[in-house]
């Protein structure tokens, strides 16, 4: 960013969990960006978040926010089923657009957003913040360098427990954007594409429903270049984000919620060998000072949100890529749609045969009430 430039003025639509506890927290420490306005249909939440972060310009909807003329860009952080209409309004107003993942919930909406973005002067990014995680970036560089040899597979695990009685109603229904498939697995589908530089050709998924749709999910996928992918996701078990990429010359294991979570094992090495255990101890000691500093900012996970916003700022200023594109968002949505169909039918689904809309979850053999009393 050029020294002396005025900060970009950003408005944020939606004052829920991701805004209050992630975006607004990290944006306080991103130079060159100032959040100056908020919008939310819930007046109490709007007031509470505005007071917490000292943002006095508050509006009940996107129309009011767009009348806030100093805005350079708008972040769309509403529930997924409302992404498309709110993002379309931003694009039509010619503003820079940040839209949380998933991009939307149907391919028709994705195509409308793609066309509107092509006609808009603004930059657009989709909120796949894990692309900017320090360890994911390091793994990306190692894969590109050839250090892993020929890549064989990728394995992802993401657990993010949600307390049922604290969830808004939309989180109970897959077709509204709720559940681990739409909210969390979509991140890993994007990481498969980003790290392996290939598209998913086929996917098989099995889902477990509780009081909410898709509380747990297991998926396997085939990439167009022949690599294999797998994922295990849950909204009911303790926090964890793991990625493992296996190649003929070695493998990388990432514990993305630990500062010492990056581990490279060359072909023939095993984690229990004395040399590897000593290496891990040395790495832990070496990384401890910087790890403690990072933990004070929320750790590498929060840093990935911060780095994503820095990249978006730089793209607006003309010296950055902007991160994930609408094309990336559409590709990951296709995988979600195919996985939902597979979970409903019990059959593997070719991505090219995925439905264009997100079908409701098929519940069989369960008497659990969908909504809590």
Q: Based on the fold, state whether residues 148 and 36 are members of the same structural domain.
A: no
Q: Based on the fold, state whether residues 114 and 194 are members of the same structural domain.
A: no
Q: Does residue 41 sit within a domain? A: yes
Strand locations in 238-331 (E) = 240-247, 250-255, 262-266
Q: Based on the fold, state whether residues 125 and 143 are members of the same structural domain.
A: no
Q: Answer yes or no: is pLDDT of 78 > 90.
A: yes
Q: Based on the fold, state whether residues 89 and 142 are members of the same structural domain.
A: no
Q: Based on the fold, state whether residues 108 and 153 are members of the same structural domain.
A: no
Structure tokens at 68: 């806030």
CA distance 290 to 100: 29
Q: Based on the fold, state whether residues 15 and 153 are members of the same structural domain.
A: no
Q: What is the DSSP letter of 30?
A: -
Structure tokens at 157: 């695990």
Q: Answer yes or no: is pLDDT of 2 > 60.
A: no
CA distance 253 to 230: 14
Give the range of the structural domain holding residue 14, as residue numbers without chain letter. Answer: 8-130+308-326
**Half-sphere exposure of 85 toward its Cβ, with a 13 Å CA cutoff?**
7
Q: What pLDDT does residue 147 have?
A: 96
Q: Based on the fold, state whether residues 158 and 286 are members of the same structural domain.
A: yes
pLDDT band at 1 (very low <50, low <70, confident <90, very high): very low
339: helix, strand or coil: helix
Q: Is residue 251 within 8 Å of 155, Cβ to Cβ?
A: no
pLDDT tens digits along 221-264: 999 999 999 999 999 999 999 999 999 999 999 999 999 999 99
Q: What pLDDT does residue 202 have?
A: 98
Which CATH number is 109's domain given?
3.40.50.720
User: For residue 205, which of 221, 189, 194, 191 has the smallest C-alpha distance?
Assistant: 221
Average pLDDT over residues 170-193: 97
Q: How far is CA 175 from CA 101, 139, 290, 340, in A?
A: 15, 34, 42, 10
pLDDT tens digits along 302-311: 999 999 999 9
């Amino acid at each position: 960013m050029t020294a002396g430039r005025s900060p970009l003025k950003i408005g944020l639509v939606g004052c829920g969990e991701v805004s209050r506890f992630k975006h607004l927290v990290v944006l306080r420490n991103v130079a060159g960006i100032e959040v100056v306005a908020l919008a939310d249909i819930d007046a109490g939440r709007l007031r509470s978040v505005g007071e917490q972060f000292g943002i006095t310009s508050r509006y009940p909807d996107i129309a009011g926010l767009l009348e806030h003329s100093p805005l350079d860009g708008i972040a769309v952080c509403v529930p997924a089923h409302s992404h498309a209409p709110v993002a379309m309004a931003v694009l039509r107003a010619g503003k820079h657009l940040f839209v949380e993942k998933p991009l939307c919930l149907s391919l028709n909406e994705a195509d409308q957003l793609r066309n509107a973005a092509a006609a808009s002067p603004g930059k657009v990014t989709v909120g796949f913040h894990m692309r900017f995680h320090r360890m994911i970036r390091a793994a990306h560089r190692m894969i590109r360098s050839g250090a892993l040899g020929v890549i064989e597979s990728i394995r992802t695990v993401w657990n993010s427990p949600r307390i049922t009685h604290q969830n808004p109603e939309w989180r109970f229904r897959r077709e509204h954007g709720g559940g681990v498939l739409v909210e969390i697995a979509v991140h890993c589908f994007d990481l498969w594409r980003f790290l392996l530089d290939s598209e998913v050709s086929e996917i098989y998924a099995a889902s477990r429903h509780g009081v909410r749709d898709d509380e747990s999910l297991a998926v396997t996928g085939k990439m167009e270049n022949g690599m294999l992918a797998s994922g295990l996701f849950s909204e009911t078990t303790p926090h964890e984000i793991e990625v493992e990429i296996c190649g003929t010359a070695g493998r990388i294991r990432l514990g993305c919620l630990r500062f010492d979570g990056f581990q490279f094992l060359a072909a023939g090495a095993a984690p229990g060998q004395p040399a590897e255990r000593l290496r891990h101890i040395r790495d832990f000691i070496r990384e401890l000072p910087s790890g403690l500093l990072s933990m004070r900012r929320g750790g590498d996970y929060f840093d990935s949100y911060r780095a994503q916003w820095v990249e978006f700022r730089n793209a607006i200023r003309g010296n950055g890529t902007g991160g994930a594109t609408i094309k990336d968002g559409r590709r990951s949505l296709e995988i979600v749609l195919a996985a939902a169909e597979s979970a409903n039918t019990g059959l593997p689904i070719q991505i090219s045969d995925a439905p264009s809309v997100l079908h409701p979850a098929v519940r069989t053999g369960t008497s659990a009430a969908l909504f809590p009393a």
